[in-house]
Amino acid sequence: MADLKLPRLNKIFIAGRITHDLELKYTPKGTSVLRFSLASDRRYKDETGEWQTQTTFVDIVVWSNAAEYLYKQAKKGTAVLVEGRLEIRSYVDQNNQNRRIAEIVADNVQTLEWGPRDEGTAGEDIPLPQEPEAPATKDDVPF
């Protein structure tokens, strides 16, 4: 069997809205950390042909300067684009049960709205289409 060159790749991009007010915390060494949950929607047609929305909630962790910047720029409901890596942590809970948690450790977070959180009004939302266009079928292709 030939040698396989498997890339070491762990990269995630996800967009959604912050689900709760942000709370900036600090480690004992003074490093800032911001944890929040992101709600990301996916639209699909169910078996009856009706459009449905499935929401996935993802835990996000932001460190250092990026955490402080995001804390100043965002709030609950702010739309963001997160670029990062998936990490799975294991721990033992208070009932001595082994638990695992999946979270995205952010390398970069971009707000998708204008204005800092103190101004009270964010940028104008661009309305999304009510129903995404159906993918083209081979009958739709002119050649």
pLDDT digits (tens, 9 = 90+) for 18-33: 999 999 999 999 999 9
pLDDT at 115: 58
Compute the CA torsion angle 31, 121, 41, 127 (nearest 10 deg).
Answer: -150
For residue 130, is it within any domain?
Answer: no
Q: What does each C-alpha distance from 3 to 6, 7, 9, 137 come to in angstroms?
A: 9, 13, 18, 39
**CA end-to-end distance (rounded Å), the chain:** 41
**Model confidence, pTM:** 0.72
For residue 134, is it within any domain?
Answer: no
The CATH number of residue 37's host domain is 2.40.50.140
Percent share of the chain, pLDDT over 90 = 72
For residue 58, is it within any domain?
Answer: yes
**Residue 125 banded pLDDT, cuts 50, 70, 90:** very low
Give the torsion sign (CA, 81, 24, 104, 106): positive
Count of structural domains, the chain: 1
Asked whether the predicted pLDDT for residue 58 surpasses 80, the reply is yes
Report d(CA 75, CA 65) in Å as an integer.
Answer: 17
Q: What does each C-alpha distance from 78 to 10, 52, 65, 72, 143 come to in angstroms?
A: 26, 23, 19, 12, 44
For residue 46, is it within any domain?
Answer: yes
pLDDT at 70: 93
Asked whether the predicted pLDDT for residue 2 surpasses 90, the reply is no
Lowest mean pLDDT segment, chosen from 43-47, 75-79, 112-116: 112-116
For residue 120, is it within any domain?
Answer: no
For residue 40, is it within any domain?
Answer: yes
Which residue range(s) make up the domain with 44?
Answer: 12-115
pLDDT at 1: 59
pLDDT at 62: 96
